[in-house]
Structure 1
Amino acid sequence: MAKFIFRVFLAVILLYLSDRVNGKAKFKDVEEKLKQLNKPAVKIIQSEDGDIIDCVEIYKQPAFDHPALRNHVIQMKPSFDLKEVKINSKNESSKLTVFQTWQKSGSCPEGTVSIRRIRREDLLRANSVQQFGRKPQEVVLKSNTTIEHKDGQSPFFNNTKFTMPTVVNRSAATLVTVGYNYVGAKADIHVWTPNVESEDEFTTAQIWLKAGPGDNFESLESGWMVNPQLYGDKKTRFFAHWTKDSYKTTGCFDLHCSGFVQTSSKVAFGGALEPVSTEFGQQYYINVGIFMDPNTNNWWLKIKEDLIIGYWPASTLLFYLNHSSTLVEWGGQVYSSNVKKKPHTKTGMGSGQFASGLRGNACYMDNIAIVDFSMQLKYPQWVGTWADEQYCYTALNYQEGYGTLPVFYFGGPGQNFNCP
């Protein structure tokens, strides 16, 4: 009798688990999502850091799950050639680029793209299968609403004040430019591994190109990120993101939804970056650039000056960015439900040190440039700095000397004596 009762109890438990996993997602939904995300591989690379990289035939990548891209013909390379000219020559010899850990274990063959495999546990960490790989929707406060730690100062451009939105669940420290039509932006982003306090928080260092109304903007983004909920650890990883409705229902990180068309077999979104910078030690960086093709309106993503990763097909995915960007930002952000309140999160931005620490202590971006319709790389004519919570995270555009262009420093530790 005891055995019978045990078997009935076990059957009930298994039936429950087959419908619910981790209290968040249905088992069937998880398996279907895994099948959708992970495409058949012609070669599999097992990275020493635990990642699995699938080498997927280029026309079988996730982009072609998008209804509007089913018959899309891949543009294999840009129709333009932007020569990368180092605007700041100071200390260039001491700067070293980083690479992705998985690259030490092998390479993907020509005709394939390298894609980091999504595992069952990755989906189980998400709030839902539908939300996996998506940035949280920004909750923007009305101008007459007051909250704790709302101490940001709006930037000025050509003596005109530019009002930045107050987002409840995000704290940012950025360099901003507006006033023109931009068809590209780039920077050397120095790579660190800041502390992330909770699994459901993340921190980035990145570039944004935006267009459209403030409550429904379009955005293309790339840089590095520490995001334990998405990736399962606290390593610094390369990422990209897009949205056409200010993160409400469209877009995603990396290739977690269809949209971005990858052309490179040498880089995998979500792959860990190494080595990283150390305090008063060697400084490492990634060069990130996003540029619109004037002939196809595809927005190309480049790293390491000349390594093309792929593109967002703006004519298919986007509306405002099908013409140009009207706002560019460089800097960092922390997503958390514990920003702009007390107690504040201890999740760091940049190096985890304030911008005033400068080189060797703070995270920074240099060789910052935009591209307008002249198709020339240039430093923006008008820039301003913005920090949502200047006692928690700071922004400083610092000119080191005559004849050099400013270097943008940003970051902070989050909670501290002045940011309780």
Structure 2
Amino acid sequence: MVASLASLFLGAMHTQLSTTTTVPFHGKEELRRYRKIMAQVARLKKASSPDGDVIDCVPPHLQPAFEHPKLRGQKPEAEPEERPKVAGGDTTAAEEEVFPAQAWTDGGESCPEGSIPVRRTKRRDVLRSSSAVRFGRKAPRAAGVVRRDSTSDGHEHAVGYVTGDQFYGAKASLNVWSAKVASPAEFSLSQIWVISGSFGNDLNTIEAGWQVSPELYGDNSPRFFTYWTTDAYQATGCYNLHCSGFVQTNNRIAIGAAISPTSVYNGRQFDISLLIWKDPRRGHWWLQLGSGPLVGYWPSNLFTHLGRHANMVQFGGEVVNSRPSGSHTPTQMGSGHFPREGFNRAAYFRNLQVVDWDNNLLPAASLRLVADHPSCYDIQGGYNRAWGNYFYYGGPGRNVRCP
């Protein structure tokens, strides 16, 4: 877990941990992991957020990424000189995109140049988790992507995907909603997956989007998140900066912080643009939000299959259905409304694109749409000049047709 930052809470928490009987730890390994997580916060400039978050401004070389054995002793690399270019003059991809706002910057807070914002992990964040060892990670048996052979373990999807070629990135715009999540054991997210490998233990993924997760964040706000794994979520990778791996280079975006504003049913729509692509020169996978600066990168040597390229890209929504009281969860996907309601009401992805071998952005051709349980969460798509390839997706979960 995150261990590269100077300690905060260490003395006080160490004393409290030695006497508490309420911490859900099982053995010395979980206790050691908990203490390591609590030792993450630097005594540096801090920014307070209206939603209660604390953002620490951390020197880039002290960020969590550089605790990874393959990255130890390194510093963030320079941004690539060349970003993906729009092929064939496709104007749908060339629009000006809004740089997303976050709650912690609403009051004018910021981190100075030469630092990165890191959302502080608090004691109560870890205690909400079912396991300190698994804190910040997905359940290993829940694939998190639409498998071709199984959609078990309570994870349900409504996604568009492309497969069968060599992909070097993906881009889309998606609107952000305050989806209602029924219990702390569940979440609702909307994201891009960049995938390589089989759907066995060697699955590599890079993921980014927005997520409502009461267990992870302690509230019901939609938050910008990242994820990665090299072994199908078993032992590698994590959300955001909760483990070493992702290298952040941006001083304006805090990964894991709330996105503000959000879309309103029958009102203003607020969307964000996500671009993930593999730098042809150094091979790292970079993340960009809107038309602004890059957020950071996943180093190429973290991965096996994604060290070369991706063989699948997915766009869409995912929820956890824990079946409370034996019924389907009412946790919402997207806006909580079915795609047939259309613009201003349903959640959408638009301008779906992929990056080819020559660093060109191309329309996501031969896009396939699939919903695990259409009566609970559905998906419908199409094409027009303004939005390129697009789809509406989501739903309310439990209803008369989804008992």
Flag whether TM exceeds 0.5 (same fold).
yes
407-416 or 96-105, which moves further after superposition?
96-105
Separation in 2 of the partners of 1:16 and 1:100? Answer: 33
Matched with 1:135 is 138
Query: Please, which of 187, 197, 201 is the counterpart of residue 212 of structure 1?
Result: 197
Structure 1 residue 97: Cα displacement: 5.7
Aligned equivalent of 2:162: 177
Q: Does 1:414 align with 2:397?
A: yes
SS in 2 for 1:253: coil
Alignment of 1:374-389 (within 5 A): 374-389=358-373
Which residue of structure 2 aligns with residue 190 of structure 1?
Answer: 175
CA distance in 2: counterparts of 1:189 and 1:178, whole angstroms: 21
Residues 195-274 of structure 1: pairs in structure 2 closer than 5 A: 195-216=180-201, 217-274=203-260
Match of 1:18 in 2: 19
- Structure 2: 5+ residue runs without aligned partners? 1-14
Does 2:78 align with 1:76? yes
Shift of 1:37: 3.1
Distance (whole Å) between structure 1 residues aligned to residue 376 and residue 329 of structure 2: 9
DSSP-derived class of the 1:18 partner = coil
1:334 maps to a residue whose letter is V
Instruction: Check the 8 A contact 1:210/1:219 in 2, yes or no.
Output: yes
Deviation at 1:403, TM superposition (A): 7.8
Partner of 2:68: 66
Cα distance in structure 1, aligned partners of 2:99 and 2:264: 14
**Contact 1:351/1:363 (<8 A) preserved:** yes
Equivalent residue number for residue 47 of structure 1: 49
Aligned residues: 381
Task: Name the counterpart of 1:355.
Answer: 339
1:329 aligns with 2:332: no
Which residue of 2 is the match for residue 7 of structure 1? none
The CA deviation at 1:61 is 0.5
Whether 1:120 and 2:118 are equivalent positions in the alignment is no
- 1:329 to partner: Cα distance: 0.3
2:262 equivalent to 1:276: yes
Q: Contact 2:24/2:127 (CA < 8 Å) preserved in 1?
A: no
State the partner residue of 2:92. Answer: 88
SS in 2 for 1:173: strand
Alpha-carbon distance in structure 1 between the residues aligned to 2:130 and 2:259: 26
Counterpart Cα distance in 1 of 2:161 and 2:17: 51
**CA distance in 2 between partners of 1:225 and 1:167 (Å):** 20
Larger mean Cα displacement after TM superposition, 29-38 or 372-381? 29-38
Instruction: Tell me if the contact between 2:170 and 2:353 (Cα under 8 Å) persists in the aligned partners.
Output: yes
Q: Given the alignment, which residue of 37, 40, 60 partners 1:37?
A: 40
SS in 2 for 1:33: helix
Task: Kindly provide the amino acid, as one letter, of the partner of residue 213 in structure 1.
Answer: S
C-alpha deviation, 1:215, in angstroms:
1.1
CA contact (8 A) 2:85 2:359 kept: no
Give unmatched runs, 5+ long, in structure 1: 1-13, 141-153, 155-161
Q: Which amino acid aligns with 1:398?
A: G
Classify the secondary structure of the residue corresponding to 1:274: coil
1:299 to 257, 275, 285: 285
Give the equivalent residue in structure 2 for 1:396.
Answer: 380
TM-score by length of 1: 0.85
Q: For residue 129 of structure 1, report the CA deviation from its aligned partner.
A: 1.1
Tell whether the 8 Å contact from 2:247 to 2:297 is kept in structure 1 after alignment. yes
| 1:145 corresponds to | none
Q: Measure the CA separation in 2 of the matches of 1:179 and 1:170.
A: 24
Q: Which of 265, 270, 273 is matched with 1:287 structurally?
A: 273
Residues 335-373 of structure 1: CA deviation (Å, up to 9, x unaligned): 23329x951011010101111111111000112110010
Give the 3 Å change call, closer, same or farther, for CA 305–25 of structure 1 in structure 2: farther
What SS does the corresponding residue of 1:37 show, helix, strand or coil? coil
Q: TM-score when scaled to structure 2?
A: 0.88
Report the CA distance between 1:16 and its aligned residue: 9.3
Bigger mean CA deviation after superposition, 98-107 or 22-31:
22-31
Pick from 371, 377, 382 the counterpart of residue 355 of structure 2. Answer: 371
Residues 80, 41 of structure 1: CA spacing in aligned structure 2 closer, same or farther, 3 A cutoff? farther
Does the 8 Å CA contact 2:25/2:31 hold for their aligned counterparts? no
* 1:404 positional shift: 5.8
State which drifts further: 306-315 or 267-276. 306-315
Deviation by residue 1:217-240 (Cα, 9 ceiling, x = unmatched): 100000000000000000010000
Deviation (angstroms), 1:382: 1.4
